[in-house]
Amino acid sequence: MEILVCVKRVPDTEENEIELNSEGNDIERDDLVYSVNEWDNYAVEEAIQLVDEHGGSVTVVTVGDEESEEVLRREMAMGAEKGILVSDDSFENADGKGIATILKSIVEKGNYDLILTGAQGDAGAAEVGGMLAALLDLPYASLVNKIEVTGDTGLKVGREVEGGDQEMNEISLPCVLSIQTGINEPRYVGIRGIRKVASVEIPTLSASDLGLAADSVGAGAAKIKKVDYFLPDLGEGAEMLEGSTDEIIEKLVEMLKAKGGLQ
């Protein structure tokens, strides 16, 4: 089974406090630690497990700048055989459809049975997988938390739906799936693993390599434009307890007693 996994380099927002830049048109990115989008990492692990069991190979692709190569190497250290970096200045400010259009041209250059994306990225749009499938006229399932190979032409996939229930579907290959976290336990990648793939060549493809007109996917084609970033209105917000830990705990215990929090 030939599998393509689409990944993205994103700031690690769990470990970082997000601040705005002085212009308010982006977050302050200088001090952020970047890594692979968490959902994408589960997708790569799932692809590797499928290939381990059923044969084939895993290719990881990302659309981004030079620095995105580190994310490809990390995923190759996990077990993806090939990496493809797609990079072009004209891609700047592409919207979801623009990214999906770029990825479509990558899919068409290969011969993939299965294309995986993370269920969502740092912008929380959860859109690229579904758009890519529609552009390719392939079947799609989102929020996938189980994949079972049922034959040469199909899969049985579980989707995570409301209430923790799992919606089971049959889907024909080739298809596009967006992967939910928790589907597997992604393997650990150590420095040694990354060193092993440090010298593997990763081709960089530009818009012209993919036959994409410069204005077909970037800012000019985007129907969605971010105007600015701002910090959400906190409204009333929480009453913040301050002081020494002892003082805070004393206040908190009183409140908990009043609210029925101590049974």
Considering only residues 79-98, where is the footprint of another protein by CB under 8 A?
A: 96-97
User: Please, what is the angle between helix 38-54 and helix 69-78, to 10°?
Assistant: 40
Q: Which of 140, 179, 210, 218 binds another protein (CB under 8 A)?
A: 140
Supply the minimum distance, in Å, between the C-beta of residue 165 and another protein.
Answer: 5
Alpha carbons within 13 A on the beta-carbon side of 163: 3
Q: Which of the residues 2 through 61 are near another protein (CB under 8 A)?
A: 11, 13-14, 17-18, 20, 27
CA-CA distances (angstroms) from residue 259 to 99, 174, 249? 49, 55, 15
Pairwise CA distance, residues 6 & 72, whole Å: 10
In the complex with another protein, which residue's Cβ is closer, 181 or 204? Answer: 181
- Binds another protein (CB under 8 A): choice among 52, 67, 125, 220: 125
Touching another protein, residues 101-120 (CB under 8 A): 119
Q: How far is the CB of 7 from another protein (least distance, A)?
A: 18
* Nearest-10 Cα torsion for 101, 106, 108, 109: 150
Exactly one of 134, 202, 214, 219 binds another protein (CB under 8 A); that residue is: 134
Q: Which helix (H) or strand (E) holds 5?
A: strand 2-7
Residue with tokens 């790569």: 44
Nearest residue to 83 (alpha-carbon basis) of 49, 57, 120: 57
| φ, ψ of residue 22 in degrees (nearest 5) | -65, -25
- When the beta carbons of 161 and 200 are compared against another protein, the nearer one is 161
Q: Which of 5, 77, 80, 133 binds another protein (CB under 8 A)?
A: 133
Site stretch for another protein (CB under 8 A), options 105-113, 169-177, 193-201, 212-220: 169-177
Tokens 């994408």 -> residue: 40
Q: How far is the CB of 137 from another protein (least distance, A)?
A: 9
Q: Which is nearer to another protein, 31 or 228 (CB)?
A: 228
Pick out residues in 196-255 that bind another protein (CB under 8 A): 223-232, 234-235, 237-241, 245, 248-250, 252-253, 255
Cβ atoms of 19 and 55 closer than 8 Å: no
